Structure 1
């Protein structure tokens, strides 16, 4: 029996797009369902993700998996072609650490900066800069976090490539600077040129327009 694979996502969601990016990199076919967010969530989304009620959700042969980092690991474990995580257990653990670091430190600080002003924003921008500095050091002179090809941390880091610059433009502050983070900026430029990444990441101006219309702080 043929496998059934469905993705419930939303075009502007960095977390949703990273799931599609992983599937595309592995050459896995799937059926995509675009959710009408943030206003009208489908009954299927609420059925498959009753706890968080949000995208992304991967449904494999009728069984749902939610939370993007969990989904990425599930994809990598089930489909071995073009592995995202390294083969060595220690290297896998390190990749998981930095992926979670991106979500817990970089994303949280940048969103906090977008939703604040004055001293609170300055503090959040400083926190984001410190987190990016740690990533800058971890990346070093490598072209990709995954080494010679796109890996787990690169896929998770797509939020820095596509969404952080849009947030900066929309809310009028700057975190990513080439003079402070030359390695990350070079990585971001090269990663954005990848054929699959270009196919999956939405244009910055579309993200900015959505944020201006829907992000209310």
Structure 2
């Protein structure tokens, strides 16, 4: 069997997408092996969940650094020391510096709770409801220096129904995230989806695994 790619998950909060990824990675045939969960917040709920799964954890509190670049350097040193090959952002609420992103370009992915390129940034579900869309969803993409703008790897669609609130739409979208993210990470880890010349390319019909409705 091909060696699994050593993967780090970066979190800032409860880590629900992290939990979905850990569940997928518990299967030895999943191509990503999660060997580190790193948080910028000491009290992040996901740290305990990772520890329960016997995954090593580490905290690098961003408040202890004078600049974003200093923080990113500390994170990079930890990733390098752990032999990380793939970085997965799962509710990691920090903007990363262009230098850090460039180093990990093509080896770092993120999930966003909208159908990009629509509704970037925060308060995504409020944006969707205000716009009156009938469908929303989530997007997994390669991380680039521009926020929520990297090449798309996969998307999942959820309906927006009458009477939806930001909370109900968020809950429905989160369920889709938990299906989409492991599928997308699996494709990237196996090399079936990769970044080439600023675009996502797939082997064969692998893209169907990350086109969900």
With normalisation by structure 2, the TM-score equals: 0.30
Of Structure 1 and Structure 2, the greater strand share is in: 2
From the two aligned structures, give the one with the greater helix fraction: 1
The two structures have a TM-score, normalised by structure 1, of 0.30
